[in-house]
Amino acid sequence: MKKKEHSFTTSSASNVPKVVLISGASSGMGRATAKILADKGFIVYAGSRDSAKLESLKSENFFPLHLDITDPQSIQQSVAMILKRHNKIDVLVNNAGYGLVSTVEDVSEEEMFDQFNINVFALLRVTKEVIPVMRANRSGVIINISSFLGKIGLPLFTMYNASKYAVEGITDSLRYELKDFNIRVHSVMPGFFDTNFAKDNLVTNPKTFSPDSAYAAMVSTLAPVIVEQINKGNEPKEVGEMILKIIENEHYPARNTIGDRAEKFIPMRKELSDEDFERRVREYYSL
């Protein structure tokens, strides 16, 4: 399918509400962010493959949006619809994602692709579609929801770790590419948040979680601890409040940690050698 070319005119009136597109907005941090921004007067398009979950929040400036980030045509149609209404997108929040729990030995080709398709390739698809809009207006903010696991590794989360490391690399490079067009790019690296992530957004490999797995001892030690930390994690609205600050403050840092685990491990990662940090993580998780 030939991609439709958009035409743009610049729009810089300061009294016009900013238009925000959020992916993965039906639950957790995406939903909380969408609601906070809408309550602050932003025009919010809350994207999800199951946009019906957002209908209860629909208002004059909150619009549930069917958005399939694995489908370039769905992304193009969504962006075109927003442009037809507003002729701009001021803020993009790439929030959609999930976590695969599997060893490298057990992971399938399909699982590897799906993990990167959602967490990395989809982020690039949406960003690629929105950049020309922001570039034409010479203004914009792109916020990538990463993870503290985009800076530190954990066993069983290798694919998720790798996808979030990729998000950090994308963020770093885009900051150079887009600076001349007055487009800011940031990442938010949450720790474990109580977002139903453990229930809805963790996918487990059956071989890894088999009682006969060579990794059964590691699974039985680590998996329950991670699930407990997620279920007892910070509130999603904390991420939404940080995103609001990033949008409103052009001098906000490029990379931002939030949540107990992130604020514990990321500074430690910077201070210690690789070997010392690995030893501390092993001790912390009894590995």
Enzyme catalytic residues: 146, 160, 164
The residues with which 189 forms a beta bridge, in sequence order, are 257
Contact predicate 145/94, CB 8 Å:
yes
Q: Output the DSSP codes for 6-51.
A: P-------TTSPPEEEESS-SSHHHHHHHHHHHHTT-EEEEEETTG
Residue 244: C-alpha distances to residues 149, 165, 183, 202 (Å): 23, 24, 16, 27
**Residue found by looking up tokens 């329950």 in the block:** 224
What is the distance between the alpha carbons of residues 263 and 150, in angstroms, rounded to a whole number?
A: 13
Residue 265: C-alpha distances to residues 97, 146, 261 (Å): 21, 15, 6
DSSP state of 208: T
What is the distance between the alpha carbons of residues 62 and 34, in angstroms, rounded to a whole number?
A: 8
Would you give the distance in Å from CA 6 to the centre of its chain?
26
* Residue 194: half-sphere exposure toward Cβ, Cα within 13 Å: 8
Q: How many helices (H) and strands (E) does the chain have?
A: 10, 9
Contact predicate 159/112, CB 8 Å:
yes
Q: Which two tokens stand for residue 190?
A: 């949450």
